[in-house]
């Protein structure tokens, strides 16, 4: 097992205080939006096995069978298939969706054939993989996720009392759901002249009025302040407002429109860069491709709570690229074994944890915001006092795996 040295991403929407407060470090004065833990080539974690720091993707690539285990290697190839993050939002993120596996592979192949460089700012598909993701709230966490029902969309537009919105409300009330959502959403991404300014003023005014939609309009007024003049505001009006309490989670599958707004959470995702944006961002926008892959369905986003099994609280999700669980450690309890056979990242978010190698007895201690990587060939046990998240893959591994010791482990 290896203590991870991780990269903080200073995106403009990030909080300046949330991650430093969790980790007990002084703020830098700059946004600290995401702390990445994993082997993503853009910012891999680093490990030191006695020969200086090395990127985790290079370590895995040098011996994927030992690092990932045979089941993971067969299913996903010689790469860690998930990326774990601490995410701290202080302003709205982009309005976006992610492709399914077939869409990602087709888009990646097409852009390669067109000669679009992988690092080009206007590149949409940067790899051939899908990007499901899940956020688990550590504080109150706010976001937009999935379409409102057509009736709710129409009622919200009517509440703004903007004459130019009435035809869109009528479409929502008179057409089949998929057709209506697609027509109005597409129109909002290409608004008529003056509509965006008028709606922005109406949203700001509605946020100041007591009424059944006030909480929604307070949310959209904040979006408008953060992204003035961005047509993504109109599209955002069609999305459900979601609030997570600490410990609750939201899973985002392919084609689901979403935008995180504020809060601190643990995020896990498939190890992919494929994000299709249509607004609320300074990054590349590909609204036409987003409309092609988005799912125009008003199925509600389901807030997840973990299911406990043998002291491990597991978040149920429908993909096998990742699996996330939580342990609430109580110092008087016996240590808990973490099975071998799959790669794992252990992240402490509260208190302190001790992770001990079964083979060598070596122990690593981690505090809030610290994490370690456990290769598939190593069995470890977990103890301490506080809260810990365990990230791994969602595939079954034979319970009789008997790993041996791995050279280069360090103890503290």
Give me the sign of the Cα torsion angle 285, 288, 294, 298: positive
Sign of CA dihedral 44, 357, 394, 137: negative
* 228 token code pair: 């003035």
Length of the chain: 412
CA dist 32 and 245 (Å) reads 22
Contacts of 132 (CB under 8 A, 6+ apart): 98, 251, 252, 253, 254, 269, 270, 317, 319, 321
Catalytic residue among 277, 326, 390, 406: 277
Can you tell me the distance from the alpha carbon of 175 to that of 181, in angstroms, rounded to the nearest whole number? 9
Sequence-ordered list of residues with C-beta below 8 angstroms from that of 34, at least 6 positions apart, any chain: 8, 9, 11, 14, 85, 86, 87, 88, 267
Burial 366-375 (b: 16+ CB within 10 A, else e): bbbbbbbbbb
State the distance between the two ends of the chain, measured CA to CA, in whole angstroms: 12
Three-state DSSP state, 26: coil
How far, in Å, CA of 286 to CA of 43, rounded?
24
Alpha-carbon separation of residue 102 from 31, 99, 127 (angstroms): 35, 8, 12
For residue 277, indicate whether it is catalytic: yes
Q: How far apart are CA 387 and CA 391, in angstroms?
A: 13
**Structure tokens that stand for 164 in this block:** 């130019």
Tell me whether strands 95-97 and 276-279 are parallel, antiparallel or unpaired: antiparallel
Q: Are 344 and 319 in contact (CB under 8 A)?
A: no
Residue 273 Cα to chain centre, angstroms: 11
Q: Name the residues annotated as catalytic.
A: 277
């Amino acid at each position: 097992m290896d203590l991870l040295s991780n990269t903080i991403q200073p995106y403009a929407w990030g909080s300046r205080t949330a991650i430093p407060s969790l980790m007990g470090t002084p703020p830098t004065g700059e946004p600290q939006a995401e702390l990445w833990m994993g082997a993503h080539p853009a910012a891999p974690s680093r490990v030191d096995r006695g020969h200086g720091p090395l990127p985790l993707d290079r370590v895995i690539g040098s011996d994927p069978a030992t690092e990932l285990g045979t089941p993971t290697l067969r299913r996903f190839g010689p790469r860690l298939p998930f990326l774990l993050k601490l995410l701290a939002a202080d302003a709205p993120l982009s309005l976006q969706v992610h492709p399914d596996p077939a869409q990602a592979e087709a888009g990646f192949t097409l852009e390669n054939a067109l000669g679009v460089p992988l690092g080009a700012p206007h590149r949409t598909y940067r790899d051939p993989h899908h990007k499901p993701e899940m956020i688990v709230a550590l504080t109150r966490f706010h976001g937009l996720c999935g379409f409102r029902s057509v009736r709710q969309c129409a009622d919200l537009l009517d509440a703004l009392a903007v004459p130019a919105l009435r035809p869109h409300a009528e479409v929502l009330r008179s057409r089949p759901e998929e057709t209506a959502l697609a027509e109005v959403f597409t129109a909002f991404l290409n608004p008529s002249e003056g509509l965006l300014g008028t709606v922005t003023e109406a949203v700001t005014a509605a946020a100041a009025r007591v009424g059944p939609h006030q909480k929604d309009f307070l949310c959209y007024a904040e979006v408008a302040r953060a992204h003035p003049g961005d047509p993504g505001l109109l599209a955002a009006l069609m999305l459900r407002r979601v609030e997570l309490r600490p410990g609750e989670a939201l899973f985002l599958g392919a084609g689901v429109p979403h935008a995180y707004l504020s809060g601190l959470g643990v995020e896990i995702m498939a190890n992919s860069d494929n994000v299709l944006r249509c607004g609320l961002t300074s990054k590349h926008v590909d609204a036409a491709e987003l409309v092609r892959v988005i799912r125009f369905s008003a199925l509600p986003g389901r807030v997840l709570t973990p299911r406990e099994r043998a002291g491990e609280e597991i978040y149920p999700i429908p993909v096998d690229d990742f699996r996330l669980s939580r342990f609430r450690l109580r110092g008087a309890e016996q240590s808990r074994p973490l099975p071998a056979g799959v790669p794992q990242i252990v992240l402490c978010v509260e208190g302190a944890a001790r992770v001990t190698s079964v083979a060598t007895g070596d122990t690593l201690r981690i505090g809030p915001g610290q994490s370690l990587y456990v290769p598939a060939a190593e069995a470890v046990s977990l103890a301490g006092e506080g809260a810990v998240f365990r990230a791994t893959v969602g595939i079954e591994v034979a319970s009789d795996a008997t790993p041996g010791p791995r050279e280069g482990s360090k103890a503290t």
